[in-house]
Amino acid sequence: MARGLGRICKGFQRLGSLSSIQTQLRQPSTSVSVRGTTLIRTMVALPTLFSSKPRDFSLPNSSWGSEMMQLYEHYNSQCEVETEGGEKQEGPWRRLPSYNRLLKYATGGVHLSKIIQSKARLFTRNIRDPGAAFEYVLFVNSEEQKCVCVFQAGHLLEGPPGHVHGGAIATMIDTVTGTHATILSGPVMTANLNINYRSPIPLGSTVLLESSLDKKEGRKTFISCKVTSSDGSKLHTETTALFLSINFSHLLLGE
Amino acid sequence: MARGLGRICKGFQRLGSLSSIQTQLRQPSTSVSVRGTTLIRTMVALPTLFSSKPRDFSLPNSSWGSEMMQLYEHYNSQCEVETEGGEKQEGPWRRLPSYNRLLKYATGGVHLSKIIQSKARLFTRNIRDPGAAFEYVLFVNSEEQKCVCVFQAGHLLEGPPGHVHGGAIATMIDTVTGTHATILSGPVMTANLNINYRSPIPLGSTVLLESSLDKKEGRKTFISCKVTSSDGSKLHTETTALFLSINFSHLLLGE
């Protein structure tokens, strides 16, 4: 374990999803610190260098069903609330944008150029056909230290006939808990996922993933995550996840 | 848990991959039993009704690198061995074929017609571009109750920059252990996956998954699985998995 962790800390991190990182980088108050503050400015500025705006996969598309849309609107409506005086202000929830490249818009050193393949795509966003695979959007509630994800499972995620593959469910759990841990603790790496599968998820259905912080101990962040039907009545999986904090700078700057 | 299991047993099973099921159905000595033996004949005969032969994804393609090919040939050469008299006979290992539809060639009742969407594809085989995502082949050693999988991780499986997504690794672990459990115990469903991530897997690399039976207790099958570098020198993950035996006939015949 010690050797493995040594390797992990040397040149690596568990990002969870770009959304969490981008969110952090746009909020310089978080703990990400790479060579002072240069990286933050670089990361935020770089998208403007590209001719086309990257697609934000967390926004609704025509494949989203009514359940997906209802849950999206439920949380999205709480991202900005109106005060009694009619002014708008930040609400308890925040939607996290989501792209299919982790570092397309990041600064890169010699090391980065080597390890990032030009064709690489984020696993959960590698199919562009709307509705075919993972359709999801994450919202975070910093005050309650919670994260939710509305997930509509497409027909390309089949495991048991007509139902979602256990690995696709694990993928969403890793994505949500990893993103949540990154928001809470900065750069982390998945160390353990302990998933109990309670009932299968039919293909095409919309489920809700709810992630909450259990505790933080030194470099360790413990997260719990439940997957339920969209109305919360059916429990699909229960998970505990452990993440280890690592040094972000090693990865990004090729040190 | 009890409620969840009840639902699972009612209309469902964890297949792992078509390969394991097909292998079982071609070997009537296994424990799969559905309305006597009718299903076995039906399942084997049905592929001939289709005009084109389905693609077997477990066979080498141009994207397979040298490590993948070497490991494939290592195990494949032990699937058929030559006796002292020069005759060929079955070896200790057996390659499992792999398709991108679980039940395309299976018999189906009313229930099946409803739950199987025409466009559904097995999660691990949903991208046809060779080398882009999951390239893998499974071999089983019945005598030693072991299963190995040679897995080459493509550029569409990215999680942390330049490395394989934790969910993609979990997907392969679920696939291999699920297939192994199905071979050992007949139809099963994943009940638990407990994955310890020790060191990250670079995109494009070839790794070896080795699955072994820990014990069987009633309906429970306990499997262990290690993911290592292709030469076995680096440990990437360690997993324990629990599978529960379920009734195959409910799913296939829509009862």
Q: Give me the interface pTM, i.e. the ipTM.
A: 0.79
Q: Give the whole-angstrom CA distance, residue A175 versus residue A12.
A: 17
Check CB contact under 8 Å for A178 and B171.
no
Q: Is it the case that residue A120 has pLDDT exceeding 80?
A: yes
Q: Which residues of A are catalytic?
A: 174
Residue A241 near residue A173, CB atoms below 8 Å: yes
Q: Which is more confident, A92 or A16?
A: A92
What tokens appear for A29 in the block? 């108050």
Ranges of residues in chain B with a pLDDT under 70 are 1-52, 102-117, 248-255
Chain B residue with CA closest to A197: the answer is B191
The DSSP symbol for A14 reads B
Give the pLDDT score at A25: 34
Give the pLDDT score at A209: 98
Give the pLDDT score at B196: 98
pLDDT tens column, A45-68: 344 444 467 889 999 999 999 999
Lowest mean pLDDT among A3-7, A131-135, B30-34: B30-34
Check CB contact under 8 Å for B178 and A163.
no
A9 neighbourhood in chain B, CB within 8 Å: none
Q: Give the best residue of B107, B165, B227, B238 to mutate against chain A (max A CB count within 10 A).
A: B165
Instruction: Write down how long chain A is.
Output: 255
Q: What is the mean pLDDT of residues A197-204?
A: 92
**What is the distance in angstroms between the Cα of A228 and the nearest Cα belonging to chain B?**
12
- Closest partner CB to B160 (pick from A12, A117, A195): A12
Give the pLDDT score at A247: 81
Strands (E), chain A: 80-82, 88-90, 94-96, 134-141, 146-153, 188-197, 206-217, 220-229, 235-245
Give the pLDDT score at A119: 82
- Distances in Å between the Cα of A165 and the Cα atoms of A159, B13, B87 are 4, 11, 42
Q: Give the whole-angstrom CA distance, residue B60 versus residue B49.
A: 26
pTM for this structure? 0.79
Give the pLDDT score at A32: 34
Q: State the catalytic residue, choosing from B56, B129, B174, B231.
A: B174
Query: Which of A10-24, A115-129, B67-81 has the highest mean predicted lDDT (pLDDT)?
Result: B67-81
Give the pLDDT score at A83: 86
Q: What is the mean pLDDT of residues A37-46?
A: 33
Look at residues B253, B243, B222 and name the one whose alpha carbon lies nearest to residue B8: B243
Q: Give the whole-angstrom CA distance, residue A50 versus residue A185.
A: 30
Residue A94 CB-half CA count within 13 A: 19
Give the pLDDT score at B100: 84
Give the pLDDT score at A41: 31
Chain A residue with CA closest to B197: the answer is A191
- Closest partner CB to A165 (pick from B171, B195, B204): B171
Backbone angles phi, psi at A250, to 5 degrees: -55, -45
Look at residues A21, A15, A61 and name the one whose alpha carbon lies nearest to residue A43: A21
Lowest mean pLDDT among A30-44, A233-247, B126-140: A30-44
What tokens appear for A186 in the block? 């900065």
3-state secondary structure B125-194: HCCCCCCCCEEEEEEEECCCCEEEEEEEECHHHECCCCEECHHHHHHHHHHHHHHHHHHHHCCEEEEEEE
